[in-house]
Amino acid sequence: MTAEVTRVTVGATAGTEAYDVLIGHQLLGELPSLIGKKAQRVAVIHPEALAETGEVLRADLAAEGYEAVAIQVPNAEEAKTAEVAAYCWKALGQSGFTRTDVIVGVGGGATTDLAGFVAATWLRGVRWVAVPTTVLAMVDAAVGGKTGINTAEGKNLVGAFHPPAGVLCDLSALGSLGVHDYVSGLAEIIKAGFIADPAILDLIEADPEGARSPDGPHTAELIERSIRVKADVVSADLKESGLREILNYGHTLAHAIEKNERYNWRHGAAVSVGMVFAAELGRIAGRLDDATADRHRAVLESVGLPVTYRGDQWPMLLETMKVDKKSRGDRLRFIVLDGLAKPTVLEAPDPAMLLAAHAEIAS
Ligand SMILES: NC(=O)c1ccc[n+]([C@@H]2O[C@H](COP(=O)([O-])OP(=O)(O)OC[C@H]3O[C@@H](n4cnc5c(N)ncnc54)[C@H](O)[C@@H]3O)[C@@H](O)[C@H]2O)c1
Ligand SMILES: O=C(O)C(=O)C[C@@H](O)[C@H](O)[C@H](O)COP(=O)(O)O
Ligand SMILES: [Zn+2]
């Protein structure tokens, strides 16, 4: 019996080819078709937590005739460093990795960001396939070709736009994910709801408990809808020259919180607080209605995401936000909503407005 597969196509852009995001259960057998026949060698980059999965994939690919190596990297943000990237480059060099060979990134968003970055930089760019194993990586990180690592100065400050050749979302992988990591992914799903597809919010509000579980009645639909939002946006604007900035909703503050917490907060948790901040900013700027602003806090809290952050950290957060990629010179720029599913840019808001929005999330 063949597994049921949903395919979402990410359109070609100048200089890049279209690719498919496959969604379904027990899909790992599809991996060789995404890798293709031109590759002789395949490197499977996986985090420590997925050592067994990494080895199973390596052995399966070896059985398919590839020279397959596994490269184990640290879990979570510890993998997104220049040192770990250099470790991967060394492993590729020692395996004789050429331009026709392929990297497979298996894991959460931190691993797929790293694996994609290694693929973007090795020999100035080799093909790669993403096998996301967290909700967050399936709905966001693995799709769209933003790859990168962190530096001491901040999050994702070094990277490249380098889309994968394909993305394999095997929903069966989500069973082993801890609830904390599962719920973190809901923040990006809720983001997709606020910026583009409010049906997502309706589904979560109707059954917040179900939304917290891989076996929830709407899990596959929530994941698929969010992937479609992301695919539509990045197909239209791969390199973030305009539209793509909407995917950064909540992220200006979120990245500052992550850095301030030395990456001990999950990305989705920080995005949750960041979206409440952005909603308050939109409200204070006279753009967003009260009901939609309040809806942020309600839906995020209903699934167990945080909506406040330590109030005494504002000076540090403000300083870090200045190096956000949306900043232009001294001007901070935020994505806010003009209404539900109407994202827009707020340019250089008055510092008093920022302070007032901060007061609403300060604990
Ligand atoms: N490139 C993009 O467009 C984009 C988009 C959103 C987020 N991101 C990045 O994604 C990262 C966050 O990703 P994340 O939330 O997936 O976290 P993560 O990658 O840090 O994974 C969380 C933890 O779960 C483990 N893990 C992964 N899959 C598992 C599974 N199936 N079972 C058990 N454990 C598993 C990981 O090893 C890690 O310890 C951040 O670095 C963020 O910046 C990138
Ligand atoms: O794909 C995008 O574009 C996004 O902004 C998606 C975000 O969810 C993601 O966290 C991304 O990595 C943030 O990018 P950055 O350019 O702000 O580092
Ligand atoms: Zn994000």
Each residue's pLDDT tens digit, 304-348: 999 999 999 999 999 999 999 999 999 999 999 999 999 999 999
Final residue belonging to a domain, choices 134, 160, 176: 176
pTM greater than 0.95 (yes/no): yes
Are 196 and 142 members of one domain? Answer: no
Dihedral class, residue 254 (left if φ above 0, else alpha if ψ from -120 to 50, else beta): alpha
Final residue belonging to a domain, choices 133, 153, 176: 176
Strand partners, 68: 42
Pick from 10, 80, 117, 146 the residue to mutate for probing ligand 2's pocket: most ligand atoms within 8 Å of its CB. Answer: 146
Quick check: 1 pLDDT over 60?
no
Catalytic residue among 146, 162, 228, 283: 146
Average pLDDT of the residues of the chain: 97
Q: Give the binding-site residues of ligand 2, using a 6 Å CB cut-off.
A: 140, 144, 146, 156, 188, 240, 244, 247-248, 251, 325
pLDDT at 2: 55
Q: Are strands 102-107 and 19-24 parallel, antiparallel or unpaired?
A: unpaired
Q: What would the pLDDT profile of 67-81 be if each residue is shown by its tens digit? A: 999 999 999 999 999
Q: How many domains does the chain have?
A: 2
Quick check: 3 pLDDT over 90?
no
CA of 245 to the centre of ligand 2 (A): 8
Are 274 and 319 members of one domain? Answer: yes
Are 224 and 104 members of one domain? Answer: no
Are 10 and 152 members of one domain? Answer: yes
Query: Any idea what the CATH number is for the domain that residue 355 is in?
Result: 1.20.1090.10
Query: Any idea what the CATH number is for the domain that residue 41 is in?
Result: 3.40.50.1970
Q: If pLDDT is split at 50, 70 and 90, which confidence band does 125 have?
A: very high
Q: Establish whether 358 is a catalytic residue.
A: no
Sequence-distant (6+) residues with CB within 8 A of 39 are 66, 100, 101, 102, 127
Are 163 and 245 members of one domain? Answer: no
Mean pLDDT of 145-172: 97
Q: If pLDDT is split at 50, 70 and 90, which confidence band does 14 have?
A: confident
Final residue belonging to a domain, choices 176, 209, 241: 176
Q: What would the pLDDT profile of 26-80 be if each residue is shown by its tens digit? A: 999 999 999 999 999 999 999 999 999 999 999 999 999 999 999 999 999 999 9
What is the domain range of residue 31? 5-176
State the burial class of residue 362 (Cβ atoms within 10 Å of its Cβ: 0-12, 13-18, 19+).
Answer: middle
CA torsion through residues 144, 116, 9, 268, sign = negative
Q: If pLDDT is split at 50, 70 and 90, which confidence band does 18 have?
A: very high
Question: Binding site annotation covers 188?
Answer: yes
Q: Establish whether 240 is a catalytic residue.
A: yes
CA of 18 to the centre of ligand 1 (A): 24
Interface ipTM: 0.99
Mean pLDDT of 268-279: 98
Sequence-distant (6+) residues with CB within 8 A of 207 are 216, 217, 218
Q: How far apart are CA 234 and CA 292, in angstroms?
A: 26
Are 11 and 64 members of one domain? Answer: yes
Are 14 and 147 members of one domain? Answer: yes
Name the percent of the chain lying above pLDDT 70.
99
Q: If pLDDT is split at 50, 70 and 90, which confidence band does 220 have?
A: very high
Are 113 and 238 members of one domain? Answer: no
